[in-house]
Amino acid sequence: MAIRTSILVSVLLMPFLAGAQSTDIRANPERMEQRIKTLGEFGTNPEGGVSRVAFSDADLAGRAYIMDLMREAGLSVRVDTAGNIIGRLEGREEGLPVIMFGSHIDSVPGGGNYDGDVGVIGAIEVVQLLKENGVSTRHPLEVVSFTDEEGGLTGSRAMVGKLSDSTLEVMSHSGMTIRDGIRNVGGDPNRLDLAERKPGELLAFIELHIEQGAFLDEENIDIGVVEGIVGIRWWDVTVEGFANHAGTTPMNKRWDAMVSAAELTLAINHVATTMPGRQVATVGRIRAEPGAPNVIPGEVVLSLEIRDLDAWKIQQVFERIQVEAKQIADVRFTPIRFSEIDVASPPAPTDQQMRRIISSAADELGMSFKLMPSGAGHDAQDMTHIAPTGMIFVPSVNGVSHSPKEFTSPEDMANGASVLLRTVLAIDDGALE
């Protein structure tokens, strides 16, 4: 079945690739590795990773390096008003929409050398390979390095016109507000409208990124074709008990909020584990009141987070958790209340055709691939609002990420860039039309 599907896909794609030998070009693993290492020197931390938080001096130095690489690859470089670095290569035909690809180079504090970096270095590799092989495209190409991804997708949010004024006042890890940070990297927070791109301006957006999970590494699969970025909903769950003396209250006369909260935590795990699908549900924080060893907890507040690629599924998981909570509350005489926190981000599915094009590119390059969701947030989720968007994952060794121990092999990075190149050329040849 798998073989039949892949032959069918190849046949369907044939007309777009006919005569295009350029699609056999492969990325250079040594060059990518060397550039990842050089980029890693900006903001290097003693553990071997980087702390290159957005807007910091290390970020500025890393950005300067990226702009140099872009120029070397033949791109003309500008910084938009949101601080996004954009390198552009004109196409052969005028007036065509842009094919944009890229990622980010800022890190979390105590981060690694691959999250984001692989996507930016890989995007530059694509343009450099085109130049070295004398290949031009019909459409203009733009390589982007988004501002402050780790601080809340700042650059991509601005690009799709969704960066709010209140967000600009948020303090970033650099010690600057996002507003001042944007100014510090050469943007203009008062003219973010100029950074906006309208639907139709971009023919496509593609992001190459490390998986940050262990699926590809464990299954020994070369390429993850991302189906979308999962949606997230958060709740505060309050369990009401009755605070009383821990020494004088017999076990059968207690309304113990902690015991109910413990049962509920297990029930949440059970619901998410036993329903079919890839949903995840987590209790990540718990607070007991009054919080003393000698007092039966009168109130416990837990966090509940649910993620899935399907908003309906998240709701189903939540409703089943509510049913379980009701039973626990009734049996233990501890009412349980759910109040949703307003941080929900809806699922962001990638474009179906983009998934097909990326799958074909991997297949034709002889790489194994698999469709999968992204459990982590990415700039690509914003870009789905304005352009057909695709995402290419490469393996993270042991699934470690946001850590100095993050690692992706040079070969895997190059595989990702080769798939990105082939995807860009297929789109340029009309695969999306």
| Binding-site ranges for Zn ion (CB under 5 A) | 115-116
Instruction: State which residue, 178 or 336, has the beta carbon closest to Zn ion.
Output: 178
How remote is the C-alpha of 226 from its chain's centroid? Answer: 10
- Ordered DSSP codes for 305-328: EEEES-HHHHHHHHHHHHHHHHHH
Residues 289-301 as b or e (16 or more Cβ within 10 Å = b): beeeeebbbbbbb
**C-alpha dist (Å) from residue 105 to 40, 112, 246, 291:** 10, 11, 53, 42
Q: Closest approach of Cβ 104 to Zn ion, in Å?
A: 6
Q: Closest approach of Cβ 143 to Zn ion, in Å?
A: 16
Instruction: State which residue, 364 or 406, has the beta carbon closest to Zn ion.
Output: 406
Distance CA 298, CA 240 (A): 6
Instruction: State which residue, 115 or 217, has the beta carbon closest to Zn ion.
Output: 115
Distance CA 150, CA 287 (A): 27
Instruction: State which residue, 124 or 329, has the beta carbon closest to Zn ion.
Output: 124
Asked if residue 25 lies in contact with residue 418, where contact means CB atoms within 8 angstroms, the answer is yes
Phi, psi (5° rounding) for residue 430? Answer: 105, 15
Q: Closest approach of Cβ 28 to Zn ion, in Å?
A: 23
**Assigned token pair, 279:** 């949903």
Q: Closest approach of Cβ 116 to Zn ion, in Å?
A: 4
Instruction: State which residue, 108 or 281, has the beta carbon closest to Zn ion.
Output: 108
* Burial label, 46 (beta-carbon count in 10 A; 0-12, 13-18, 19+): exposed
Instruction: State which residue, 237 or 417, has the beta carbon closest to Zn ion.
Output: 417
Q: Closest approach of Cβ 276 to Zn ion, in Å?
A: 29
Residue written as token pair 């003309």: 76
Q: Closest approach of Cβ 141 to Zn ion, in Å?
A: 21
**Share of the chain residues as helix, strand and coil, in percent rounded to the nearest 5:** 40, 25, 35
Instruction: State which residue, 114 or 369, has the beta carbon closest to Zn ion.
Output: 114
Q: Closest approach of Cβ 166 to Zn ion, in Å?
A: 24
Closest residue to Zn ion, judged by C-beta, is 116
